[in-house]
A and B are shown apart, each in its own frame.
Chain A
Amino acid sequence: MSLEKCKKQLETILAGCEGKRESLLPCLHAACEQCGHVSEEVISYLAEKLDLPRVEVYSAASFYSMFSLEEMGKNVIRVCVSLSCYLKGSNKVIKALENELSITAGQTTPDKKFTIEPVSCLGLCDKAPAMMVNEEVYGDLTAAKIKDIINQYRQKEAK
């Protein structure tokens, strides 16, 4: 199922590159973007195409924080918890998100709509505290702003 969703993208990346290990990270990115995680099926498929032991693909996928082996929410909220944002109150950002979504950092909402992912510096330090939702950047966050942002995404989902 999860392989079906991303197979086209994987085939495009792998075209002419079978057995070339440097295709692995691009493939794992594609899998995460298309199906929210790197599944067992995807790992087996990539291992075969790249002529690697399955455990090596698993190992690489587990090493990088952007690759999730468990299904992520449709909207991934990456909150910077590194020092610049911490100095400006990233703790409060996390707390506000946890309250708003009724999950703890690192978790995904039961409806699979949101995941809160504490991450290392996002390079948004001049807008601290900052976070990203999917590919969008949000800075100078306050509890009130967070409520608004989440509501925007909820409305988008509802449509």
Chain B
Amino acid sequence: MKVILKNIEKEGYDGSIASYISEGGYEALKIALKKTPEDILSELKKSKLVGRGGAAFPTGMKWEFARNSKETPKYVVCNADEGEPGTFKDRLILENDPHMLIEAMAIAGFTVGASQGFIYIRGEYFKAYDVLTAAIEDAVKNNCLGNNILGSDFSFNISLYRGAGAYVCGEETALLDSLEGKKGQSRVKPPFPTFVGYQNKPTVLNNVETLSNVPQIILNGGDWYSKIGSADCPGTKLYCLSGDVKKPGVYELPTGITLKELIDTYGGGVDGKLKAVLPGGVSSSFLAADQLDVKMDYPSLQKAGSMLGSAAVMVVNDTHCMVDLAKRCTEFFDYESCGKCTPCREGTKRAREIFINMSQAAGEATDIALLKELQDVMYDTSRCGLGQAAMNAAGSAMDKFPSEFEKHITKKNCELGICPMEKV
């Protein structure tokens, strides 16, 4: 079952407006423009679509909040700041099927009563930027964007806005600040963006993948969508397989597929002997090799002590040292922390230092307990998801592979010979 990649995986499909229209593109928008916003909201709610960015908030409810918000103007913002390491699904859509996103944003605009949309796109996505620029022009030429879209009285425009290299801007309120030309630092929530968003106006903010589901939901109905995949979190999901796997890539599969199926059936199996998996990027917790039967949806992974996040599935084989990987993960967060709140700014810095010490034979017996306490406090007090999740991977590595850490600390030994185990 393909909802999002149905065009992209078709041979000869080039993502142009002509090929999009020939595959039934912009039909959903036509239908939507004849419905009332309330009808669209009801289909969306029936579909049980939840945000694919990681927070899994019901999309229908989000749009309804924005629609009911009294303030005007309203905005639609697409989060195309794909930055979670191991995630490369949005790039695929942006470069290969841009009109699907444009159509979805127009439907969102019509539903919530916005006439301006923004796509906040990663600064490093040069090609996707060029493709989208051309696609927006084509959409305007074909009256799928602009004034009086498809003969209706609805007008909607989309502006592209480039990020500039800050992972934290994937966080929705940091993204909004960045979109306003400021540093990308999270805002205090509440109020949520659906009430106080871009320029303090009601704003619907959705991830590329989330929006990409919308045209098909409009065409086929919410009930149809809700029957795909697992019942409590239906639909398809784009899984990004990377790391030590034979066939890395983006796979669109119904939610509820098991991790084992994903890796073995679609990814061609592990490259080497499996050691651990990060199912939702470096913000998620490691799963051990014996946890592969977990279903790849939001609630199941949460129960398993991890999270689906953006579904960046990173496979780790047994040639890798977990202390080294914990160090690498905390280095990432230390580099990407916005620096605003104490626990994240200082916590990532100190965690990184401690893992470096461990890898250089300077670990101490008290380190594990201190890091666990630090993890708790960072989770409990950080201002945004970045700091709250920053210790997930490192913390779970310590939980699941305690003896490896133990050996580094007490025996000053990295059995895999990866850590230097001396002062560098």
Contact = CB atoms under 8 A, between A and B. Distances in A.
- Asked if A and B touch directly (CB within 8 angstroms), the answer is yes
Interface of A: 20-26, 28-29, 50, 59-60, 63-67, 78, 82-84, 86-88, 119-128, 132, 135, 137
Contacts of B336: 120
A29 B162 contact: yes
A126 B164 contact: no
A109 to B, nearest CB: 21
Q: Tell me which of B87, B164, B167 has the highest count of chain A C-beta atoms within 10 A of its own C-beta.
A: B164
* A-B pairs, 4 with minimum CB distance: A82-B85, A65-B165, A64-B164, A125-B242
Interface in B272-296: 278, 282
B164 A65 contact: yes
B102 to A, nearest CB: 20
Interface stretch (B66-74, B135-143, B221-229, B324-332): B324-332
B399 to A, nearest CB: 18
A135 B125 CA distance: 8
A125 B83 contact: no
Given A25-B161, A66-B124, A82-B332, A123 B91 contact: yes
Contact of A87 (B164, B165, B312, B314): B314
A53 to B, nearest CB: 13
B125 A123 contact: yes
28 contacts: A21-B180, A23-B181, A25-B164, A26-B161, A63-B338, A64-B183, A64-B184, A65-B166, A66-B164, A78-B124, A82-B86, A83-B85, A83-B314, A84-B85, A84-B86, A84-B242, A84-B243, A84-B314, A86-B328, A120-B165, A120-B335, A120-B336, A123-B91, A124-B88, A125-B85, A125-B314, A126-B241, A132-B124
B181 A120 contact: no
A48 B123 CA distance: 25
Contact size range, B: 35 or more
B409 interface: no
Interface in B123-137: 123-127
B43 interface: no
Contact of B88 (A25, A63, A83, A125): A125
B82 interface: yes
A23 B198 CA distance: 14
B240 interface: yes
Nearest to A118: B335
B86 A121 contact: yes
Contacts of B165: 64-67, 119-120
B259 to A, nearest CB: 17
B121 to A, nearest CB: 11
Given A120-B335, A125-B240, A125-B248, A83 B124 contact: no
A59 B335 CA distance: 16
A129 to B, nearest CB: 11
Nearest to A21: B181
B181 A25 contact: yes
Nearest to B125: A123
B167 A120 contact: yes
Contacts of B162: 25-26, 29
Contact of B183 (A26, A63, A65, A121): A63
B171 interface: no
Contacts of B320: 87
Interface in B227-270: 240-244, 248-250
A10 to B, nearest CB: 14
B322 to A, nearest CB: 12
Contacts of A78: 124
Interface in B156-201: 161-167, 178-184
A120 B320 CA distance: 20
A120 B164 contact: no
B406 interface: no
B164 A29 contact: yes
A121 B87 contact: yes
A50 B320 CA distance: 50
Nearest to B315: A87
B209 interface: no
A22 B249 contact: no
B307 to A, nearest CB: 16
B27 interface: no
Nearest to B179: A22
Contact of A63 (B123, B184, B248, B312): B184
Contacts of A67: 164-165
B271 to A, nearest CB: 9
Given A21-B180, A125-B248, 19 more contacts: A22-B161, A24-B182, A63-B184, A64-B123, A64-B165, A66-B123, A66-B124, A66-B165, A82-B282, A82-B332, A83-B243, A83-B325, A83-B332, A87-B244, A120-B83, A123-B87, A125-B88, A126-B250, A132-B124
A9 to B, nearest CB: 14
A66 B129 CA distance: 16
A64 B178 CA distance: 10
B383 interface: no
Given A65-B164, A83-B314, A128 B248 contact: yes
